[in-house]
Amino acid sequence: MTRGLYTAYTGMYNEQKRLDIISNNLANSATIGYKEEQVTSQAFKEMLTYKIRDRSNGFVDEPIGRMSLGVKIGETYTDYTQGSFKVTGNKLDLALEGTGFFNIEYASKSRNASTKYTRDGSFSINNEGMLVTEDGDYLLGENGRIQIPSGAEVVVDELGNVYADEQLVDKIKLSDFEDYNYLKKFGENLYTAVDGATEKTGDGKVRQGYLEMSNINVISEMVEMITVSRAYESSQKVVQTMDSSLEKAVNLGKL
């Protein structure tokens, strides 16, 4: 019976983790370029159970079958499908149609620079004339940081070529990866490549004056949240039923 309590607990714990992920998706439904996180569930490995020193069987250990230890989170993964485009009319807003990521020069608190990746194309020009993200990190081109002459009109074609007053300045560097399982969310809407990642040239088309929104379907997430809540309540009722049964068994033993 105590095994039933544990199994119900694993169900509650699993649903709580799923609810955390859904809540994070909903919180980022309006985040530019955000990619939905999803989760799978799986059972713990089954255990072969035995009768130990059973008097009815001459003190012989005897297998009586297999027992499940409940459910657990199997895998948390990211859905990289493209989100919808929003028209902004801002010439420094860029969206990627297809695969690939913008390359960003990220500076840590200790001022160590490293390359990160993003689908968030909301850029601006800083005081130095460089194209930067909302957090001040530099957008990278084929030749490094992209500098725009003061007051110049910026035009970006679908190949990522950046023109200032009709003069070619640089080409935006786009990167893609053979396996997205080697990408990890870094924070600030950025991704970082981990050991084993194989980088290749991104073939996405750049759309000027657009932003790619998140790929979150709010209605689907809300429905999933209700489903998870109901599953959590079911496991909770199992715990309450087990607790009541144990209480009756203890009281019966006192008689």
Non-local CB neighbours of 110 within 8 Å, separated by 6+ positions: none
pLDDT at 67: 59
Length of the chain, in residues: 255
CA distance 215 to 213: 7
Non-local CB neighbours of 26 within 8 Å, separated by 6+ positions: 216, 218, 221, 222, 225
pLDDT at 48: 56
Phi and psi (nearest 5°) for 161? -70, 130
Phi and psi (nearest 5°) for 81? -60, 150
Q: Is 197 exposed, middle or buried (0-12, 13-18, 19+ CB in 10 A)?
A: middle
| Per-residue confidence in pLDDT tens, the chain, 255 aa | 566 677 777 778 888 888 999 999 999 999 999 999 988 776 666 655 555 555 555 545 555 556 566 666 667 888 999 999 999 989 999 999 999 999 999 987 777 889 999 999 999 999 999 999 998 899 999 999 999 998 889 999 999 999 999 899 999 999 999 999 899 988 888 999 998 889 888 788 999 999 999 999 999 999 989 988 888 888 878 777 877 777 777 776 555
Q: What share of the chain is helix, strand, coil (3-state, %, to 5)?
A: 25, 40, 35
pLDDT at 115: 92
CA distance 124 to 251: 72
pTM of the model: 0.76
pLDDT at 221: 92
